[in-house]
Amino acid sequence: MQLCLVGINYNTAPLAVREKASINVEKLGESLSSLHRDIHRGVILSTCNRTEIYASGSDSTSLEKAGMLFLQTLTGSKGAAGENFIYILKNVEAARHLFRVAGGLESMVVGEYEILGQVGQALEAAGKAGMTDLLLNHIFQGAIQAGRRVRAETGISRNALSISSIAVNLAEETLGKLSGRTMLVIGAGEAGRLVVKVARDRGVSRIAVASRTHERAAALVQRVGGIPVGLDSLPQELARADIVVTCAGAPHRMLGTNQIEKAVQSRGGRPIVIIDIALPRNVDPEVANIPDVSLRNIDDLTNIYETNREGRLSEIVMVEEIVEDEMRRLAAWWKALEVRPLVSALMAKAEEIRDRQLGKTLKKLRPLSAEEQESLEAMTKSIVNQILKDPIQQIKADGDGEHARLMSELFQLDAEKRK
């Protein structure tokens, strides 16, 4: 059984490419159906930092090609240009990457907690679509277990920054203290909730929350504060806000140059800071060219990301140790899975010989009672099991598969037919 990972992330692809490949929760089922045409067993992990396809099957080359085609179709970047954005990992290295992702090591914001839930959601969605198997389930569950250990045994997620909190930090760097400022948050999901919470803690005096549905905005402000507004109120709120943070899961731009230009005209020269942390982006990049507007996106937060990473170097070492510990467990299980057909073939052949020879022996003996036959049956089975115990352990522990090949040749086993 082979595992193949094909993906793009913030290290390999620019924002303009990543946003095309972004798949929100509502579209995940549809995307899995599309993937299923070429990959029968696979999981899609899509966050604001990455889109990755984890696929299992017998032919890693075909999995690689299908995964690349899927991502290139999403991004519209086919051929050599599209390949430059994509990374490919296989088997143990693909699994190790997922364990590191779940542990928060591969995130823009090292130690972010949200990624652990996203890994679980990706597995759950693939399971509902009927696209998981024993290998994918075990590897993803192992990654989740590693991620939980990381949070419980290290401090990497303690007081960790999130993209939402970094957005508020950036606004503070640009405008100075936020007390007395007004903010507009577009998006009432988890990212929006975190923005509102951090902004309130920093002293923002008025926070308006806009969402596609008034109910979602109202539910959010009921939990963390703020004022719910409808999208039809955006012109007035844009004219009023000092800071705008956009984090809506919309497939299209929500703020364009015309809207912002009109808002700027009514502000009397007051600057406005717009921070777009959505993927795909909510704000037309051309807005950055409008006077008195400071537009930042998710990739503009790099300096704060690096500062966060440097402050967690000691924790990173501990996380890597946990990842490697969990990887050893996975490697042992995977090895046992790989040799399972061979072990089954060996046991089946031994059982066939035992049963045949026992039958011949019973014909030569006086009639035995049921109890005597059961005792003889149990004894011969025990002998076979004891003889095969050490060879089977050697096969499972074998690192390069040499013992498995030798065993297959010596006993003339056709393991492939028993898979």
pLDDT per residue over 239-288, tens digit each?
999 999 999 988 889 999 999 999 999 988 899 999 999 999 999 999 99
pLDDT per residue over 82-107, tens digit each?
688 999 999 999 999 999 999 999 99
Count of residues in the chain: 419
Distance CA 204, CA 208 (A): 11
pLDDT at 77: 79
pLDDT at 394: 78
Sign of the dihedral through C-alpha 255, 261, 263, 268: positive
pLDDT in single tens digits along all 419 residues of the chain: 899 999 999 999 999 999 999 998 889 999 999 999 999 999 999 998 899 999 999 999 999 999 999 999 999 877 666 688 999 999 999 999 999 999 999 998 888 888 999 999 999 999 999 999 999 999 999 999 999 999 999 988 876 678 898 899 889 989 999 999 999 999 999 899 999 999 999 999 999 999 988 899 999 999 899 999 999 999 999 999 999 999 998 888 999 999 999 999 998 889 999 999 999 999 999 999 999 999 999 888 776 777 777 777 888 999 999 999 999 999 888 887 777 777 788 888 888 889 999 999 988 988 889 999 999 999 999 998 998 888 878 777 765 567 677 777 777 886 544 44
Q: Let me know if 247 is a catalytic residue.
A: no
Distance CA 68, CA 74 (A): 10
Q: Contact 3/140 with Cβ under 8 angstroms?
A: no
Distance CA 401, CA 398 (A): 6
What is the token pair recorded at 176?
Answer: 């100075």
Locate the domains of the chain by residue range. Answer: 2-159, 163-306, 333-376+383-418
Distance CA 74, CA 46 (A): 12
Instruction: Identify the DSSP state of 301.
Output: G
CA distances from 400 to 68, 404, 405, 412 (A): 29, 9, 10, 20
Pairing of strands 42-46, 50-57: antiparallel
What is the CATH code of the structural domain delimited by 163-306?
3.40.50.720
Q: How many CB atoms are located within 10 Å of the residue 250 CB?
A: 16
pLDDT at 81: 61
Q: Could you identify the residue written with the tokens 């501990």?
A: 318
pLDDT at 419: 47
Distance CA 363, CA 402 (A): 41
| Range list of H helices, 212-284 | 214-224, 234-240, 257-265
Q: Could you identify the residue written with the tokens 């299923």?
A: 36
Q: Contact 45/71 with Cβ under 8 angstroms?
A: no
Q: How many CB atoms are located within 10 Å of the residue 274 CB?
A: 26
Query: Which one from 4, 48, 273, 323 is the annotated catalytic residue?
Result: 48
The reply to whether CATH 3.40.50.300 applies to domain 2-159 is no
